[in-house]
């Protein structure tokens, strides 16, 4: 990790990515951790997936999110932290009626920064799933009849 400050209005290396309709702005990356700011519009989501090699968390700044762990749904609001351990399937949904702002992190960093770089603007779900699998994120198949 390089010493210094990542200013509020910028991302590392000037990056900002559009991933599944969310804006992700990287703030810190080392071998041990990767942290990014996320703007998550109402009605958007990250389908259920597994990080087999990383723990993940979300700290809500404002807005509300629902995180599904299979049939269990947890709701988080401003100041809450959602914990998503490695190997546990989770999907992230904004059904709140307004945009949510939060900080995500994973540990260790592994390949997630590179994944977001290649996913920037990808709209085809099959390509998103394919690229994600190459970067250690495994999306679950959609439920029967979906």
Q: How many CA atoms does the CB half-sphere of 91 hold within 13 Å?
A: 19
* Domain of residue 87, CATH code: 2.60.120.10
- Is 144 a member of any domain? no
40, 25 Cβ separation under 8 angstroms: no
Residue 94: pLDDT band by 50, 70, 90 thresholds? very high
Residue 111: pLDDT band by 50, 70, 90 thresholds? very high
- Is 6 a member of any domain? no
Number of domains the chain is built from: 1
Domain hosting residue 26, numbered range = 18-136
pLDDT at 82 over 80: yes
**What's the whole-model pTM score?**
0.93
- Is 1 a member of any domain? no
- Is 52 a member of any domain? yes
pLDDT value of residue 2: 84
pLDDT at 98 over 70: yes
Q: How far is C-alpha 124 from the geometric centre of its chain's CA atoms?
A: 18
121, 131 Cβ separation under 8 angstroms: no
24, 17 Cβ separation under 8 angstroms: yes
- Is 37 a member of any domain? yes
- Is 107 a member of any domain? yes
Tokens 């109402």: give the residue.
42
pLDDT value of residue 141: 81
Q: What is the DSSP string of the chain?
A: ---S---TT--GGG--EEETTEEEEEEEE-SS-EEEEEEE-TT-EEEEEE-TT-EEEEEEEES-EEEEETTEEEEE-TT-EEEE-TT--EEEE--SSS-EEEEEEEES-TTHHHHHHHHTT---HHHHHHHHHHTT-EEPPPPTT-
pLDDT at 143 over 90: no
- Is 55 a member of any domain? yes
- Is 11 a member of any domain? no
């Amino acid at each position: 990790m390089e010493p210094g400050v990542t200013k509020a209005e910028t991302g590392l290396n000037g990056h900002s990515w559009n991933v599944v309709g969310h804006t992700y702005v990287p703030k810190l990356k080392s071998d041990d951790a990767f942290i990014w700011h996320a703007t998550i519009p109402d009605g958007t989501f990250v389908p259920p997936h597994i990080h087999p090699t990383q723990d993940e968390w979300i700290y809500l700044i404002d807005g509300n999110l629902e995180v599904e762990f299979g049939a269990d749904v947890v709701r988080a609001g401003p100041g809450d932290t959602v914990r998503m351990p490695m190997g546990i399937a989770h999907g992230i949904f904004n059904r709140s009626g307004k945009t949510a702002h939060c900080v995500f992190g994973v540990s260790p960093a592994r390949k997630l920064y590179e994944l977001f770089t290649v996913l920037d603007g990808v709209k085809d779900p099959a390509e998103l799933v394919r690229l994600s699998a190459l970067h250690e994120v495994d999306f679950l198949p959609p439920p029967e009849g979906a």
